[in-house]
């Protein structure tokens, strides 16, 4: 049976060959514990980890020491919010993932929601109207995980800088396909997974703090405390980055694999990857829109690799199951984004998500369409 992977918004697959090769080479040849000794393997590991910090900083216009490695974007977002916003009001959009909503709610931070399905000038006006005297941050998803919508990062960042707010960005569905310059966009914390658009392994991710935010984060709330090889006599975590937030042993093989994923993206180019994905998206959208038994949820915004649909009369999970039985890997449900589903008007059971990656082809779309046509 043919297997077609179309669940890249969850995690990209397959990975570039260099990712697993570099991780195995690390594990087999020199995987010491960075920062825990001066012997050759520890030094080699520390050098490799710093090299990936440098890659991330170069890609997003930051500083290597302000890169904090995490196990995924969710941890990165939690870290950024809790370090920079210990109290006060925050503003979020109506396309946010639960990785944003839940840490804000659990931290008991009051929040307001602005509408993202609007022209840029309306978005900015809405955000301005929701700023209160106690507002501390704007936290947004750069790109929706269920539809083509992306937010205007540069104008929003300029507004945050004007009003003295922290600008925290969830780049989970954005980095790797769109260029990000933290300085030009006035982003204070860029949170991203390594295993999606950067084509690294699962278990990798990071938050990159701006120069301005790094000073505040150095005194901010930590998620985890423990050893990091520095200031061992002190009972508290250091007040400098990245050591303040990297307690315990970091995953050197995953970080090395992330570095290879970033190298792949840099070689291919974000624009080229997005062009391929968006061409497949347009091909699928055009065909599905002509099938009467299918409802597509596709607001006419920017190019995308994510398409949401339902087969009329079927639960999304059932449709996803039937596609899976034909070897097509997709995901049904609410995709951990109930706010976005509500804004799009999907049914209670959500919808089926198709998400393309760098290795998908027109043949994948053709096979998917042939299976859907047999289902309806």
Percentage of the chain modeled with pLDDT above 70:
99
pLDDT at residue number 145: 96
Cβ(131)–Cβ(282) below 8 Å: no
pLDDT band for position 301 (50/70/90)? low
Residue 163 has pLDDT above 90, yes or no: yes
- Tell me the mean pLDDT in the region 258-282: 97
Domains of the chain plus CATH, in order, are: 4-13+269-375 (3.90.1150.10), 17-268 (3.40.640.10)
Tell me the C-alpha distance between 284 and 363, whole Å.
Answer: 11
pLDDT at residue number 37: 73
pLDDT at residue number 152: 96
What are the residues whose beta carbons fall under 8 Å from the beta carbon of 325, sequence distance 6 or more?
none
Tell me the C-alpha distance between 188 and 168, whole Å.
Answer: 6
pLDDT band for position 160 (50/70/90)? very high
For the segment 228-238, what is each residue's pLDDT rounded down to a tens digit?
Answer: 777 788 887 88
Tell me the C-alpha distance between 233 and 23, whole Å.
Answer: 33
Cβ(190)–Cβ(170) below 8 Å: no
Residue 286 has pLDDT above 80, yes or no: yes
- Tell me the mean pLDDT in the region 84-106: 97
Tokens 């840099």 belong to 266
pLDDT at residue number 302: 59
The tokens describing 146, both together, are 């269920």
Rounded to two decimals, the pTM is: 0.96
- Tell me the mean pLDDT in the region 79-89: 97
Tell me the C-alpha distance between 90 and 62, whole Å.
Answer: 24
Tell me the C-alpha distance between 241 and 375, whole Å.
Answer: 54
Tell me the C-alpha distance between 10 and 227, whole Å.
Answer: 32
The tokens describing 57, both together, are 């900083």
- Tell me the mean pLDDT in the region 131-153: 96
Cβ(296)–Cβ(346) below 8 Å: no
Pairing of strands 67-70, 205-209: antiparallel
* The total number of residues written for the chain in this structure: 376
The tokens describing 58, both together, are 């170069």
pLDDT at residue number 245: 93
Tell me the C-alpha distance between 304 and 96, whole Å.
Answer: 17
Beta-sheet strand order (sheet of 205-209): 67-70, 205-209, 189-193, 166-170, 135-141, 89-93, 111-114
- Tell me the mean pLDDT in the region 26-40: 90
pLDDT at residue number 320: 98
pLDDT at residue number 276: 96
**Lowest-pLDDT range, 106-110, 220-224, 306-310, 320-324?**
220-224
**Lowest-pLDDT range, 38-42, 61-65, 122-126?**
38-42
For the segment 100-130, what is each residue's pLDDT rounded down to a tens digit?
Answer: 999 999 999 999 999 999 999 999 999 999 9
């Amino acid at each position: 049976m043919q297997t077609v992977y179309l669940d890249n918004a969850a995690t990209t697959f397959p990975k570039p060959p260099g990712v697993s090769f570099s991780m195995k080479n690390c594990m087999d040849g020199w995987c010491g514990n960075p920062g825990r000794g001066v012997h050759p393997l520890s030094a080699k590991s520390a050098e490799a980890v710093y090299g990936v910090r440098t890659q991330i900083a170069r890609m997003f216009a930051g500083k290597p020491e302000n890169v904090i490695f995490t196990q995924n974007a969710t941890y990165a977002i939690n870290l950024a919010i809790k370090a920079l916003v210990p109290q006060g009001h925050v503003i979020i959009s109506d396309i946010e993932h639960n990785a944003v909503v839940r840490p804000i709610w659990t931290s008991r931070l009051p929040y307001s929601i602005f509408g993202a399905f609007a022209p840029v000038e309306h978005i900015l006006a809405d955000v301005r109207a929701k700023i209160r005297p106690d507002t501390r941050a704007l936290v947004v998803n750069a790109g929706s995980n269920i539809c083509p919508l992306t937010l205007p990062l540069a104008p929003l960042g300029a507004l945050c800088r004007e009003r003295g707010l922290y600008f925290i960005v969830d780049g989970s569905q954005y980095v790797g396909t769109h260029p990000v310059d933290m300085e030009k966009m006035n982003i204070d914390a860029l949170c991203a997974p390594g295993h999606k658009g950067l084509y690294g392994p699962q278990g990798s991710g990071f938050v990159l703090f701006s120069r301005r935010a790094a000073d505040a984060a150095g005194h901010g709330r930590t998620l985890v405390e423990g050893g990091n090889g520095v200031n061992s006599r002190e009972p508290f975590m250091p007040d400098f980055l990245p050591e303040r937030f990297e307690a315990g042993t970091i995953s050197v093989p995953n970080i090395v694999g992330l570095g290879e994923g970033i190298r792949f993206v840099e070689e291919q180019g974000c624009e080229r990857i997005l062009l391929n994905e968006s061409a497949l998206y347009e091909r699928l959208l055009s065909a599905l829109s002509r099938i009467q038994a299918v409802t597509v949820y596709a607001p006419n915004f920017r190019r995308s690799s994510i398409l949401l649909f339902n087969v009329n009369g079927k639960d999304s999970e059932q449709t996803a199951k039937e596609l899976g039985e034909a070897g097509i890997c997709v995901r049904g449900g609410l995709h951990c984004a109930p706010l976005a589903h509500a804004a799009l008007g999907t049914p209670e059971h959500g919808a089926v998500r198709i998400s393309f990656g760098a290795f998908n082809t027109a043949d994948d779309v053709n096979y998917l369409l042939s299976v859907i046509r047999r289902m309806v």
